[in-house]
Structure 1
Amino acid sequence: MSNIVNAATKTYNGFASILNRLQSPLLLAIRLYWGYQFMQDGWGKLTHLDKVTEFFSSLNLPTPHMTALAVALIELCGGFLFTFGIASRLTSLVLWVNMTMAYLSVPDDRVNFFHILSKPDDFYGASPYTYWFAALLILILGPGFFAVDTVLKRWVGTRGAPAHTTA
């Protein structure tokens, strides 16, 4: 019996090891796809700022023009940083808060947001969900190996390492 358990454990660990190697490519794919989507949405808002301002006015958001401009810039610039993995966790936090506010600002989406446990299909069917979830994934898991953050961390880590001396 222990041979079967050992074989199953070894097989499972091998499978898990293979899947662990796919974590950084998956995080890269999430950043590339959703970062580009954020940039497109931000650019769309900037080029149609009057319509976004009108929509924000209908939601009774404070200073709708400035709010529209801020959201557009957050999505455009944040999407760029998100795509390339620059200041990933801070960028993800800002984008996640932005999408949480999108959930809470639109009456139908606000209802869906609070259905997270009672009617999850309403929650993940709302338009902000995929952006919200992508930002949350990178916020929690980090950008992965293929990111500017990782390159900078390695570069600073090697340059900041103390020199080895022999006494």
Structure 2
Amino acid sequence: MNILKLPSLLEDQIAKRANLMQSIFLLAFRLYWGWQFFVTGKGKLINHVDATGFFASLHIPAPALNAWLVGGAECFGGLLLMAGLLSRSTGLVLSVVMITAYLAVSNDRVKLLNLFSDPTPFLNADPFFFLLTAALVFVFGSGAISIDRVLSGFLEQLSQRHLPVKESADSSKVVMSM
């Protein structure tokens, strides 16, 4: 064994084990924070009058409509996150909702705008872990433990089974076309 290859071999072994944990890590975030999104959104939908009043106090335009939209995005987005279904789209929508939450509340807006000069208040703000989870799922996808992955595998097998086959000029060769 070449001693110079040892760091590379070690790094490869660590990467293999870390890759196995990646889906578990994403699943844990999706389940916990997906549930939190669901509960928060459900609260806005059930207590629509209160949510509308809160949105109006923040001077959000069309507060009643936005309370329905945000509540629905959080409630159903949370369910989709937990299931790992339409994950990247859901992550994008929820990221936009959470960035808007930071911008809508003046104290949180200051925290967002001062992120690089003083990150601690931003990291301690209520929307932070919601935003982090939504961004993680948007950027990395839902991981191997998800309905997205099952559907992806199923659709791939289905498309492989139904690829049209053309004969080439040389009849001994078969070419698959898409």
Pair in the same fold by TM > 0.5: yes
User: Aligned partners of 1:164 and 1:28: how far apart in 2?
Assistant: 39
Shift of 1:8: 2.6
User: Aligned partners of 2:60 and 2:12: how far apart in 1?
Assistant: 52
The residue number in structure 1 matching 2:35 is: 36
1:66-91 deviations in Å (ceiling 9; x for gaps) = 11111111100111111111111111
User: Aligned partners of 2:89 and 2:12: how far apart in 1?
Assistant: 33
User: Aligned partners of 2:143 and 2:136: how far apart in 1?
Assistant: 11
- Choose 1 or 2 for highest CA Rg: 2
User: Aligned partners of 2:4 and 2:36: how far apart in 1?
Assistant: 46
The residue number in structure 1 matching 2:103 is: 104
The residue number in structure 2 matching 1:160 is: 159
The residue number in structure 2 matching 1:57 is: 56
Letter in 2 for 1:44: G
- The TM-score with structure 1 as length reference comes to 0.93
The residue number in structure 2 matching 1:130 is: 129
- The TM-score with structure 2 as length reference comes to 0.87
User: Aligned partners of 1:50 and 1:35: how far apart in 2?
Assistant: 24
User: Aligned partners of 2:73 and 2:7: how far apart in 1?
Assistant: 48
Shift of 1:5: 3.5
**SS of corresponding position for 2:59:** coil
Shift of 1:48: 1.6
Identity of aligned residues (%): 37
The residue number in structure 2 matching 1:151 is: 150
Question: How many residues in Structure 1 have an aligned counterpart in Structure 2?
Answer: 166
User: Aligned partners of 2:82 and 2:114: how far apart in 1?
Assistant: 30
Shift of 1:148: 0.9
- Segments of 4+ moved more than 4 angstroms: 163-167
User: Aligned partners of 1:123 and 1:59: how far apart in 2?
Assistant: 19
Shift of 1:163: 6.5
| Backbone CA RMSD of aligned residues | 1.7
Letter in 1 for 2:4: V
User: Aligned partners of 1:15 and 1:5: how far apart in 2?
Assistant: 17
1:31-72 deviations in Å (ceiling 9; x for gaps) = 111111100001111122111111111111111111111111
Shift of 1:164: 6.9
User: Aligned partners of 2:29 and 2:16: how far apart in 1?
Assistant: 21
